[in-house]
Amino acid sequence: MKTIEDFNFENKKALIRVDFNVPLDGEFNVTDTSRIEAATPTILKVLEDGGSAVLMSHLGRPKGQVNPDMSLSHICEKVSEIVGVQVKFVDECVGDKVEQAVAELQSGEVLLLENLRFHAEEEKGDEAFAELLSKNGDVYVNDAFGTAHRAHASTTIVAKFFPDNKCFGYLLAKEIKAIEKVMQTGEKPVTAILGGAKVSSKITIIENILDKVDNLIIGGGMTYTFIKAQGGQVGDSICEDDKMELALDILKQAEAKGVKIHIPVDVLAADDFDNNANTQFVDVNKIPDGWQGLDAGPQSLENFKKVISESRTILWNGPVGVFEMENFAKGTIAIGNYIDEATQNGAFSLVGGGDSVAAVKQFGFQDKVSYVSTGGGAMLESLEGRTLPGIAAILG
Ligand code: AMP
């Protein structure tokens, strides 16, 4: 795997695909700078070697149209502040103007190009557009994990114009290593905790990880499809009746593969999908009509705690309750605390995929786990066992 560490950028121009798709407020201030911070080590390595950096990214969904609200010019000052270098900006990402700005770029300088998605060719993965992009640097560095699952011009296709001069940036390399550590080289026992709303959205992940884990904790809304499939009463809990057979099949597959499945035995049930609803702890198999399970119960959490504390490698994707409502967030917070303890005791813990990162950040767990993935969709696809096109393009 070629990473940025394998290159010396002295007098070279690095064309870096970063993920600067950051949230902006009404006055175009960056409200969360994590993605800029995450890309900074890669940019600094190029500058410290004596090279220059040309940064390309998308921002929002302009759908192939120029949209001043989504111009990357809005973030230029913030990038300058974080990287510590006054970043230059050019209001295009291909063409003569850009080629000239790139030609004038001196060692130690950084140039930010305009939003790639102002061109429809970007998302189409257009080869001619990718070739134009490739003129903006000597070495192609992909450091955008958040878009690595898309075969876009700047994330994938452009790599073919750098057959010997392409590599992963630090961030993307870290993401790949973290996933490998869980899916391939993880110390046993390996435990996956899968929560979230629906079995249907997690099924490919479950099937893929059954070959890799020793324990699978299933929580959140998925619980009830498994419980009902086994004959339990789930009341008004979220349940996918058409996935019950699949749930039974997963249980069978797990047994055949020697994977222990852990499902809640008790839940906090509510008489409405509302933070202020009446609540009671009930046996997961005996949820009365009119009540729905919205969080894991105390006995379930005790069971999960034991499994997590004995694990050496932990993957967490999805909340075990409706964490957005304070009264149903306790289970998810408890899981975070158990992972924190296990991590302090030497386990490797990876959190990511979909909304997991939002839950982790909301409760301040991002510094307590070993690694928080920066890519929602890209992480989910990696867990499903797919080779991401952006990664394959660098490896190939
Ligand atoms: P996902 O994006 O699939 O990880 O799902 C996350 C969503 O699952 C969150 O918005 C949670 O509120 C929701 N969720 C978790 N547990 C439950 C539950 N018991 N009933 C309904 N929704 C749930």
Instruction: Say whether pTM exceeds 0.85.
Output: yes
Q: Over the stretch 54-63, which tens digit does the pLDDT of each residue have?
A: 999 999 999 9
pLDDT at position 359: 82
Q: Over the stretch 205-240, which tens digit does the pLDDT of each residue have?
A: 999 999 999 999 999 999 999 999 999 999 999 999
More confident residue, 374 or 174: 174
pLDDT at position 36: 96
Q: Dihedral, CA atoms, 372, 313, 309, 284, nearest 10 degrees?
A: 80
What value does the mean pLDDT take over residues 80-103? 98
pLDDT at position 269: 98
Q: Over the stretch 296-306, which tens digit does the pLDDT of each residue have?
A: 999 999 999 99
pLDDT at position 353: 82
Q: Is 193 helix (H, G, I), strand (E, B) or coil?
A: strand
Q: Which residues line ligand 1 (CB under 6 A)?
A: 195-197, 201, 220-221, 238, 293-294, 318-319, 321-324, 354-355
Choose one of 275, 281, 355 to mutate for the ligand 1 pocket test, by most ligand atoms within 8 angstroms of C-beta.
355
Q: Over the stretch 15-47, which tens digit does the pLDDT of each residue have?
A: 999 999 999 999 999 999 989 999 999 999 999
pLDDT at position 358: 78
Average pLDDT of the chain, as a whole number:
96
Crossing angle of the two packed helices 34-49 and 76-83, in degrees rounded to 10: 60
pLDDT at position 360: 86
4-173 shares its CATH topology with 186-383: yes
CA–CA distance, 192 with 384 (Å, rounded to integer) = 13
Residue whose CA is closest, atom 10 of ligand 1?
Answer: 322
The answer to whether residues 284 and 266 touch, using CB atoms and an 8 Å cutoff, is yes
CA–CA distance, 161 with 115 (Å, rounded to integer) = 21
Which of the listed CATH numbers 3.30.230.10, 3.40.50.150, 3.40.50.1260, 3.40.50.300 matches domain 4-173? 3.40.50.1260
What are the structural domain ranges in the chain?
4-173, 186-383
Confidence class of residue 89 from pLDDT cuts 50, 70 and 90?
A: very high
Confidence class of residue 376 from pLDDT cuts 50, 70 and 90?
A: confident
Active site residue 396: no
The architecture that CATH gives domain 186-383 is 3-Layer(aba) Sandwich (3.40)
Residue 355 has pLDDT above 80, yes or no: no
As given in the structure block, the two tokens for residue 161 are 């114009």
CA–CA distance, 136 with 13 (Å, rounded to integer) = 8
Residue 354 has pLDDT above 80, yes or no: no
Confidence class of residue 256 from pLDDT cuts 50, 70 and 90?
A: very high
